[in-house]
Structure 1
């Protein structure tokens, strides 16, 4: 993000654990959620609702929100995939 001049408005330290309730709240606030797990990228359009499948996809094996997580307007990016970030943010 630095290489493209994108500056985050807020940084949340990894020591702050965000769990299932936080993921559900963030999903409800988004119009589109893109979840990346390695090379697999899944797109959700929650429409104000946080389905169990969406929330489960947003959480890692420890039950915490996958990192990194970025919000750009009503778009929420969870996990990292270079192509997904490039397409969404540039």
Structure 2
């Protein structure tokens, strides 16, 4: 496994169950939408599936793009500052 893996959500479709499965082995979820950034600590207090799906899924019912697994962190959505921080 590489340090950083990405999923092209425009080409690979992920339904709700598939999106939740991406969280296996993930300690931190960072969900971004524009300048709004939400960080979830999944190893200590995992939110319920509905709350996670609200951050993972886009309006079309598929995984939001871009989505990248970086180590034990999953970043969903694009925010330049977040990517700069997690890719250091």
Structure 1 unaligned regions, length at least 5: 1-7
The question of 1:25 aligning with 2:14 is answered: no
Could you tell me the TM-score, scaled by structure 1's length?
Answer: 0.78
Determine which structure has the larger helix proportion and give its number.
Answer: 1
> Greater strand share, 1 or 2?
2
TM-score (norm 2): 0.80
1:40 shift after superposition: 0.5
What is the root-mean-square deviation of aligned Cα atoms in Å?
Answer: 2.3
Q: Retained in 2: the 8 A contact 1:28–1:50?
A: no
Q: Please list every run of 5 or more consecutive structure 2 residues that lacks an aligned counterpart in the other structure.
A: none
User: Whose RCO is larger (CA < 8 A, sep 6+)?
Assistant: 2
